[in-house]
Chains A and B, each alone.
Chain A
Amino acid sequence: MDLQKLRAEETDPVVIIDENGLITHVNNAFETVFGWTRDEALGEPISIIIPGNLHDAHHMGFSRFLDTESPKILGKALELQAVNKKGEQFPATHYIVAEKENGKWVIAASVTPISK
């Protein structure tokens, strides 16, 4: 899975952010699963889909990645809690990739709810 494939993904929810951590792209499945419309989501920080008690971990990990450019969690499936617009938490499989475009990081993730 790479950035190109994630951009074209339609079934699983996909969100793409820039290197400031701001959302630059979501697909239709994302709108359905997370309850945010595309217009609402674009420009918002990615932390809107991360539960509050994972914010510290996200901010520090993300900042470290930008600084060191050595990914620790990329390229493998991770099971993590996600949160929708209503504030409902649910477990989801995260698959995150990062690639540089025009010298800037672009980070894309598919976030698929785990149905139980």
Chain B
Amino acid sequence: MNNCSLDPEDLKKQLSKFHSTLSKMEKALASINEGIAWTDEEGMLEWCNEPFESFIGKSKMELYGKKLSELLPLYKKGKQLEESVHPTTPANVRKNQAEEEYEFINDNGTVKLEIRGSAFSYAGEKKSNIFIIRNITKRELMKEKLLQSQKLEAIGSLAAGIAHEINTPVQYITDNLNFLSEGLKRMVEFLDEFKVKVKAQPDNEALKALNTVAQMGDMEFLREEIPIAIEQSLEGAKHIGNIVKSVKEFSHPGSREKSMADINKMLENASTVSKNEWKYHSTIKLELSADMPRVMCFPAEMNQVLLNLIINAAHAIKERQDKEGSSGNGLIRLFTKVEDNWAVIGISDNGTGIPQAIQDRIFDPFFTTKEVGKGTGQGLHLARTAIVERHNGELEFETEAGKGTTFFIKLPIKDLTKTTEQNGAPTYGQKA
């Protein structure tokens, strides 16, 4: 520089320091895993970090000097924001927008963004704005899923409560129906006797008059139909009672301790509770071994696992039927058997099968192939955790595309978690 009083060598040293400081700053900002960008007083992009660059999907050199609001088209409920309300427009920066959520579309589809901006001055009076652009898609997804699982939990306890409330009236309805049924039998005996008397004494005026009244009241019809109506009502009440019982047993929070459980009964309950999921397109076939021993387990968790697997089976069948345009040919087989020291539970469907490409991911948390709102991607993950970690068991599957899938739950008949005691106490699950 011509008018510089500094020694050129000193100047070079100073410049070198300046460059290394800038480089440090550049790298520091790049290492923050959020998009960072600043603009001049007109909203033109002056600098951005690498996360921002890769987020937009273009190189910095293509972005610099362009309006940030144009580089970052944002949407709200599918409608694109005008420049006048865009969070990076300089006039909007001072407004608090941290709570706002925007949609942005890039190569990964629609992502949700949170954009925080602040204004700063430099070189006297020039104004700049700096923005932090955070991708909150995952966070929002987690929130939604948490909410959903809380909802399910709430529905579960609600169902248990309702089941309990229904139980009492169902009981006295059943008792009353039984009483009516018994009472009616005696009334029918009376009517039959009456008919015999009428036939035997055709000239008895009083009996004749009564018989006319009986005919007008259609007693013959009532005598036939009322017992049937009561019988059907009793059957219905019994059915309600069974459902209520299943729901109660199923959603019972259960103790924190393992207990001996009847696996066959649990499968029956799970199929009753999930009936609405399969009854329109499938039948359930129970092939339960009569010699299943009781197994140590956390009943509530096992119930949840069985329910998840049955519902998955039902969905897989529905999906195949929708694809083929067929219906009603769904079959879910629930079977139990003993193999060596394992109690084996099988849940088998003739649904779509699991494609090869995703077979090693199906147990990952949040992995789902179901449409939004239908699956949380938690079912198989929870099942695996429950079976493997909580019960020292195994969860395996066999699948064939287009043919179906069978999940095998294997639970140790001899519960290993209780055998660590040193005092020689008998272990659970062993015959004394």
Q: Mark B22-66, 1 if CB is under 8 A from A, else 0.
A: 111111000000000010100010110000000000011100110
Say yes or no: is A54 at the interface (Cβ < 8 Å to chain B): yes
Determine whether the beta carbon of B25 is less than 8 Å from that of A60. Answer: yes
Determine whether the beta carbon of B46 is less than 8 Å from that of A63. Answer: no
Say yes or no: is B1 at the interface (Cβ < 8 Å to chain A): yes
| Distance of A21 Cα from B23 Cα, bound (Å) | 14
| Distance of A61 Cα from B25 Cα, bound (Å) | 11
Say yes or no: is A80 at the interface (Cβ < 8 Å to chain B): yes
Say yes or no: is B20 at the interface (Cβ < 8 Å to chain A): yes
Determine whether the beta carbon of B19 is less than 8 Å from that of A67. Answer: yes
Most buried by B among A20, A22, A43, A81: A20
Say yes or no: is B15 at the interface (Cβ < 8 Å to chain A): yes
Most buried by B among A62, A64, A81: A64
Q: How far is the CB of A57 from chain B (nearest CB, A)?
A: 5
Q: How far is the CB of B46 from chain A (nearest CB, A)?
A: 5
Residues in B whose Cβ lies below 8 Å from that of A81: 65
Asked if A43 meets B19 with Cβ closer than 8 Å, knowing A20-B12, A57-B46, A81-B65, the reply is no
Determine whether the beta carbon of B15 is less than 8 Å from that of A56. Answer: no
Q: Which residue of A lies closest to B38 (CB)?
A: A56
Determine whether the beta carbon of B65 is less than 8 Å from that of A63. Answer: no
Most buried by B among A43, A53, A59, A78: A53
Q: Which 8 A-B pairs have the closest CB atoms?
A: A63-B22, A67-B23, A63-B23, A63-B19, A20-B15, A56-B47, A60-B26, A56-B46
Further pairs besides A57-B61, A63-B22: 9, Cβ < 8 Å: A56-B38, A56-B47, A59-B22, A60-B26, A63-B20, A63-B26, A64-B22, A67-B24, A81-B65
Q: Which residues of B contact A (CB under 8 A)?
A: 1-2, 11-12, 15-16, 18-27, 38, 40, 44, 46-47, 59-61, 64-65
What are 26 A-to-B residue pairs whose CB atoms are below 8 Å? A20-B11, A20-B12, A20-B15, A21-B15, A21-B19, A43-B1, A43-B2, A53-B44, A54-B46, A54-B64, A54-B65, A56-B38, A57-B47, A57-B60, A57-B61, A60-B26, A60-B47, A61-B60, A63-B21, A63-B23, A64-B23, A66-B20, A67-B23, A72-B59, A72-B60, A78-B61
